[in-house]
Chain A
Amino acid sequence: MNTASLVVLVSLLIIVGGLALVIRPRGVSTLDFYLAGQRVGVATNASAICGDYFSAASFLGVAAAVYVSGLDGVWYATGFAAGFVPVLLFVAAPLRRFGEFSIPDFLGRRLDSDRVRLVAVGVVQLIILSYLVPQAVGSGITWQLLVGQGIGGLSPYATGVLVSTAAITGLVAFGGMRGTTWTQAVQFLLLLSALVWLAIAVLGSGFNYGASVAELATDPLVNPVHVDGDWELATTPNRLEADAPASFAEPGARYGGLGQVALIITLVMGTAGLPHVMNRYFTSPTGTAARMTTVWVLGLAGLFYALAVMLGTAARALIPDAVADHPWLEELTVDGVLRVPEHALPVLGRIYGGEAGLGLVAAGALIAVMSTIAGLLLASAASWGHDVYERHINPQATQRQAVRAGRSTVVVVAFASAGLALGLRPESLTALLPSIVATMVTWAFALAGSALTPVFILAIWWRRTTAAGAVAGMVVGALAAVTMFAAGALIGDRGLGEVFMTPTMVAAPLAAATTVLVSRRTTVPAGLERIWLKMHGTAADRQAVRLARLTIAGVDQRPDDRGVGDAQR
């Protein structure tokens, strides 16, 4: 690490962090703190959702997974991108139209039950925590590579975890959501431009994507393993054909036939239950806008992941030849293969952009981590502060007290996750789980997809869903996911174990079936008709559009009428 990359890194961080403070909300109200007053443009909101969603798992993890296992790693990218299709089809518009603060609030109001709200808060907190940990691990890994030394006697990894957590916690607690909606968008654009720059640099140097894949396919896939204190290369076995080596361009390096499908289903179903992503939908002006936002997200995500997959391939193809020219690669690689696959993108950045390139990619990674952590912390704060504190602990809370409760939640949750991340030494797990960041994120997806998504979709589209059914469904889904996970850790991830490690394929149908069965035996809440009108009717949307049109017409033609329009909002 030297001054050039540090300068780039620090200046980018200051720009992004500065934005959050400059666009701070003026008056403090809980609505502003959590949801930016519900008025955010489609493109901005789409970028902000991407900023929330594209975490270290997407930025470093997808490239790393592709680097380690080739085509089987690409399924991560596919699954992460595909997750927004069910969101678009089933969730986006009704979620916005019903318009509550958070997922627990949504479920609580929809089913008219405090019990549902509290259970949902529990599930949401679990998901957030299991999502936060890999982000902290990712920032630790980045620090380790970038700075290489710790502060105050801590290891570089621990320093990275603590510094990033502290920085982002401060930003969230004092910036508020208004700040972070804009900064999430700016952060995403920075992330995307880092990726685009890297792609242009790699392609400009004569990298031929197709030919490289063909070339990588000719040799068996090898990866470094740690044996008796020494690193050596070992052939990755093929899980689809016994006794054959795995190949970069063919499936089988990581998952058997069942495992591939199980992983994709897990990632696809998970997104709709991610609280920090879903909370962004409440900031769209109308249900239709929420839907169009998701289309934008699908486009941006497609671009992002296609680039990440290409760069993972490029790292695999280019790094062996680069070792000769770049002596610093020696200590990171074994015979031209990276020891820690998450280093793939930063190393590419340093090869093509020198120290400044490394700084840019590192800033991208840290920003990915920061923006995701910020989104998660806010979601956590919203569910604790709004759903628990304001409703159950202190119903007479003033705005100031509620905001303070939210802020203290942010601090507590952030440091809990940092503690967990410190407990997990990535080196000890790398051998077991290649590209640990992407793998760990699937745990959060599995939990969300098993416990929340089925109940969520049923509550939106099935009139007969009841509070008891939803509670049973969430509990069964969460328990099934956790149990299968524990079982999977015991029996290993071979054969059926693959499904146990990515349990949504089994747990989600189980949760849905439980919800349906229990709902059939209980009675629906009384005000269902009104709820249905609000959630699926477009009257409010049409009213909003008409008022907006009148206001614009008033501004353009009839200045006298502006007062009417303004008063309406």
Chain B
Amino acid sequence: MTSDSDEHDTPAEVDATVRTLRRVAVGYFVVFLVAIGGVPGLTLVLDWWSKGRVIGGMSPSFVMAAFGLYVFFFVIGLAAATLSTAVESRMLGGPDDDAADEDGLK
């Protein structure tokens, strides 16, 4: 279990992973773009968005720009990172590295 080449991916596997990850990334990116374009964009179409008053007198647009979006970025980032890592671990390498290790060490 100590050679550098114990782990090995085939081109077809990597290609499949790339396409799946790309789909994940593009999906999240679209959601991200909608959110980040929507916050200033809503100003143009919805008066309430920049003139309304929610928590303590801020407009919804101000609330989103001042806190909401940062929380959103973090959540979307965490979700994308978790999903991408999960996809990679399932699509490349063995299903259960620990089990493989056990066998190897016996």
Contacts and interface: CB of A to CB of B under 8 A. Distances in A.
A542 B13 CA distance: 15
A549 B25 CA distance: 30
Contact of A532 (B14, B37, B40): B14
Contact of B28 (A89, A299, A301, A533): A89
Interface stretch (A138-146, A256-264, A376-384): A256-264
A211 interface: yes
Contacts of B28: 85, 89
Contact of A250 (B50, B80, B84): B50
A75 to B, nearest CB: 7
Given A84-B73, A261-B37, A71 B62 contact: yes
Interface string A534-569: 001111101101100110000000000000100010
A544 to B, nearest CB: 9
Contact of A89 (B18, B29, B61): B29
Contact of B73 (A82, A208, A250, A564): A82
B32 to A, nearest CB: 5
Given A211-B57, A542-B97, A249 B62 contact: yes
Contact residues on A (Cβ < 8 Å of other chain), bracket:
35 or more
B7 A78 contact: no
Given A268-B36, A540-B7, A81 B93 contact: no
Given A86-B29, A301-B70, A210 B57 contact: yes
Interface stretch (A163-171, A228-236, A302-310): A302-310
A505 to B, nearest CB: 11
Contacts of A540: 7
Contacts of B88: 288, 538
Interface residues of B, number: 57
A360 B80 CA distance: 37
A9 interface: no
A89 B25 contact: yes
A213 B62 contact: yes
Contacts of A84: 73, 77
Interface string B65-106: 111011101101110110011001100110001000100000
A536 B22 CA distance: 11
Given A78-B36, A291-B85, A88 B22 contact: no
Contacts of B43: 240, 250-251, 257, 260
A568 B56 CA distance: 59
Contact of A298 (B15, B39, B56, B73): B73
A504 B69 CA distance: 21
Given A251-B43, A260-B40, A536 B17 contact: yes
B65 A213 contact: no
Nearest to A528: B11
Give chain B's interface secondary structure class.
helix
A540 B93 CA distance: 11
Contact of A78 (B53, B65, B92): B65
Interface string B38-59: 0111011000001101011111
A174 interface: no
B11 A302 contact: no
A461 B62 contact: no
Interface in A332-368: none
A543 B4 contact: yes
Q: Which of A93, A212, A295, A568 has the most CB of B within 10 A?
A: A295
A81 B70 contact: yes
Contacts of A78: 36, 39, 65, 69-70
Contacts of B37: 261, 264
A93 B105 CA distance: 30
Interface in B1-18: 1-2, 4, 6-9, 11, 13-15, 17-18
B81 A294 contact: yes
Given A257-B44, A564-B2, A209 B56 contact: yes
B74 A299 contact: yes
Interface string A292-325: 1011001101110110011001000000000000
Contacts of A219: none
B84 A538 contact: no
Interface in A68-94: 71, 74-75, 77-78, 81-82, 84-86, 88-90, 93
A529 interface: yes
Given A537-B9, A539-B93, A306 B66 contact: yes
Nearest to A88: B77
A214 B21 CA distance: 44
A532 B8 contact: no
A217 interface: yes
B105 to A, nearest CB: 9
A299 B21 CA distance: 23
B56 A211 contact: yes
A330 interface: no
A215 interface: yes
Interface of B: 1-2, 4, 6-9, 11, 13-15, 17-18, 21-22, 25, 28-29, 32, 36-37, 39-41, 43-44, 50-51, 53, 55-59, 61-62, 65-67, 69-71, 73-74, 76-78, 80-81, 84-85, 88-89, 92-93, 97, 101
Given A250-B51, A264-B36, A542-B93, 10 more contacts: A71-B62, A85-B32, A251-B50, A264-B37, A302-B74, A310-B66, A529-B11, A537-B9, A537-B14, A539-B7
10 contacts: A71-B59, A90-B25, A213-B58, A250-B43, A257-B43, A268-B36, A461-B25, A537-B9, A537-B14, A537-B17
